[in-house]
Each structure stands twice: as structure tokens, then as C-alpha cells.
Amino acid sequence: MLELRLSEARGKANLGWLDSKHSFSFGSYYDPEQVGFSDLLVINDDTVQAGQGFGTHPHRDMEIFSYVLEGALAHKDSMGNGSVIETGDVQMMSAGTGITHSEFNASPSALVHFLQIWIVPNQKSVKPRYQQIHFSDEEKRGRLRLIISPDGAQNSLSVYQDTRVYAGLFDGNEQAQLTLAEQRYAYVHVARGSIKVNGQRLETGDGVRIRDETSLNFSEGKQAEVLVFDLRPKERPQL
């Protein structure tokens, strides 16, 4: 069963320097029907103006990853990390006992467009950690590349949760299939372009909750970039 979450139904926040769209309740946007799915709590689609960004702020007991679609994001945190996250990079922070960090557009002239995603961890008060990996277009072209997993399989980033995240690029005749174990949920987010998932056409910004399916088929992509979440069979995150 596929339950569609249309792009235009997302929450919106425009602060001038930040244009953000919220797939789930976040900040001043609250919808009791959209408070996450399984262990997936936040998908924010953020575009930040040149030289602007999020000042230093705290997190704890949350798995937070950023997926850069365009531009470059400058990161600093209380663990001593300082890096620039560019198109194709994925950054993962396990906040654990507590971290502070900042994220700024690294360019003085160009926009940065990225997804910030939060996953509720299965362990609290872990030692904070930072990970960053680049996944090339070739690794994602016409297939679903594992980018996040509980055990860091296939050179993916590790997450403290029974969650696996895949990224794929699809155009024209390119197709892929993902088999789900029995009684697993899934969520698909279309970062850009459009694609069919089990025959359902999804456009940029659309998402879909998936239950009672054992196979996901991706086809007829039009310059599509997608993220796919393989999740525990539960309706809402438990903080």
C-alpha cells in the first residue's frame, strides 16, 4: 500500500536567507497527521542563500544526516570537525550525549540546496560521532546505492537504528528493484525530477509511505534523484 505525501502539502518556512519545506512537522509547522513515519522524524528540503546559514546550536540523542544536492555546506561542531560538504556528499552526526554545530553556505555567490534528515536512534547517551562520505553519480546511476545502514555495510555510513537508506539516480529506461523483508515499512522521497514507484508517478518533493509491500520497483525516471528508507514496521517515531 502506497500513501502519497504531495510536495505542495508540505510545511513551508521562508526566512529570506532560508527557504525550507518540511515533509513532517518541524519548528512552527505542526500537523498531527505528519509527525514522522516509523523512526523517520524529519525531512527538511533546505535552500540557503550565499554566505548564510544555521548558527551554532545544540542537539542530543538524534541521528542527523545531510544530503547535498547542489552547492557546498560548511560544517563546524563541538567535536572539532570542520569540513565542506559538497554535491554528492552525505554527512552523518550521532548527537548522543550532546553536540553543538553550525552549517553555513560555503559559497559567497551560489545557493546551497540540501536535505536534512533526522532518524530517532535506538540507543541514548552514546558518545557523539561524525561521519562523511562522497557517493559518486556513477554509484547511484540506474541503481539504489546503500548510503546508510546499522553496520556500515558496503562502505555506507553507520546509524544507531534498524534503518537502511538508499540513494538512486534514474532517467529514461533505467530501472531498479528493492526487495523488502516481511513486515517492513518504507518511505520514498523524490529529491528532484520525477519517477514511477510501483506504477505511481512521483514528482519533485513528493514522498510516499509504504506498507504491506515486499518489492519496490523504480522506473520511467525523468532526471530523478530519490532517497529510499527501509524502516521498522511502526507508525510514528518514539522520542
The DSSP secondary structure of 96-109, one letter per residue, reads TT-EEEEEEE--SS
For the chain, give every domain's residue range: 2-231
Q: Identify whether the C-beta of residue 234 lies closer than 8 Å to the C-beta of residue 41.
A: no
The amino acid occupying position 13 is: A
pLDDT digits (tens, 9 = 90+) for 72-96: 999 888 888 888 999 999 999 999 9
Q: Residue 17 contacts by C-beta under 8 Å, 6 or more apart in sequence?
A: 48, 49, 52, 53
pLDDT digits (tens, 9 = 90+) for 131-176: 999 999 999 999 999 999 999 999 999 999 999 999 999 999 999 9
Domain 2-231 annotated CATH 2.50.20.10: no
Q: Are strands 185-197 and 215-231 parallel, antiparallel or unpaired?
A: antiparallel
- Does the pTM exceed 0.85? yes
Does residue 68 have a pLDDT over 90? yes
- Rounded CA gap, 162 and 195, in Å? 26
